[in-house]
Amino acid sequence: MARKPIIAGNWKMNMTPAEAKELISALIPLVQDAQADVVICPPYLVLPTAAELVKGTNIALGAQNIHWAEKGAFTGEISAKMLKEVGVSYAIIGHSERRQYFGETDETVNMRTKAAIAAGITPIICVGESLEERETGKTEAIVSAQAEKALAGIEVEDVKALVIAYEPIWAIGTGKTATKEQANETIACIRETVKKLYGKENAEAVRIQYGGSMNPKNAAELMAMPEIDGGLIGGASLKAEDFSKVVKY
């Protein structure tokens, strides 16, 4: 089954609205004929500005997180309804920085995923192991367990549209990258987990990105691997030219 590649830029805590306007304006013509789906995920404050700029283009808008409740006393959080009204169609869920610094758990990842699906927002569910876990041979067990817990209770008809991002924690923001073979092997393991839960057809439909320091220099070799369907891009997404080179790997 041919899966359309998806390249998503996670801007993290970078870019003011003015800076975002400059970046997006430069990016639009560079990716207008892209063969991959293109997504940008700015900070919350930037979403309204970005939404206006990407209207009528092939760039979709994503959020960096999403809360599981519709509304309520959750200071600092943002709901699916709020995001949907602004024009968000994707949401990163369970990024390792959320897990490491802000108490994200497999259970909250699952709740956020369900909220996104219910609102018609496509989740980009992140899974990945630490350096210690990789060095002690626990990679497959860790990513399989994270994927299984994230998908608990998700209906079979919703699975095909999901995006999963394999992001080895040790390769995020460090400049280190898993070899193309390592990335492909681990993503195959994640796909096997989806197959175990939902069957071969659904597993073959799910797009699984690689999220460990993909950049213009290594994008082509990573994307040539049969299991890798795209990238969740950090640093390289903050420069229009670099991000467009990844999109057009």
Task: Note the pLDDT of residue 247.
Answer: 97
Given pLDDT bands bounded at 50, 70 and 90, which one contains residue 187?
very high
Query: pLDDT of 138-182, one tens digit each?
Result: 999 999 999 999 999 999 999 999 999 999 988 777 777 789 999
User: Does residue 244 form part of some domain?
Assistant: no
pLDDT band for position 1 (50/70/90)? Answer: low
Output the DSSP codes for 8-41: EEE--S---HHHHHHHHHHHHHHHTT-SSEEEEE
Q: Is residue 247 domain-resident?
A: no
Angstrom distance (rounded) from CA 146 to CA 154: 14
State the virtual CA torsion across 133, 224, 177, 59 in degrees, nearest 10: -100
160 inside domain: yes
Q: Is position 245 within any domain?
A: no
Q: Domain with 57 in it: what CATH number?
A: 3.20.20.70
Domain count, the chain: 1
Catalytic (active-site) positions:
95, 167
Rounded to whole angstroms, how far apart are CA atoms 101 and 99? 6
SS3 state at 56? coil
Residue 88 lies in a domain: yes
pTM attached to this predicted model: 0.96
Q: What's the chain's average pLDDT?
A: 95
Domain that includes residue 207, residue range:
6-239
Read off the pLDDT band of 59 (50, 70, 90). Answer: very high
249, part of any domain: no
Mean pLDDT of 105-129: 97
Higher pLDDT, 24 or 132: 24
| pLDDT the model gives residue 171 | 79
Which residues, listed in sequence order, are joined to residue 230 by a DSSP beta bridge?
6
Confidence (pLDDT) at 125: 98
Distance CA 167, CA 128 (A): 5
Provide the 10 A C-beta neighbour count for residue 120: 10
Say if 218 falls within a structural domain.
yes
Q: What tokens were used for 32? A: 């207008």
Residue 192 lies in a domain: yes
CA distance 53 to 51: 5
Residues above pLDDT 70, as percent of the chain = 99
pLDDT cut 90: percent of the chain above it: 91
What pLDDT, on a 0 to 100 scale, did the predictor assign at position 49? 97
Residue of 212, 104, 94, 86 lying closest to 162 (CA atoms):
94
**What is the C-alpha separation between 90 and 120, in angstroms, rounded?**
9
Contacts of 73 (CB under 8 A, 6+ apart): none
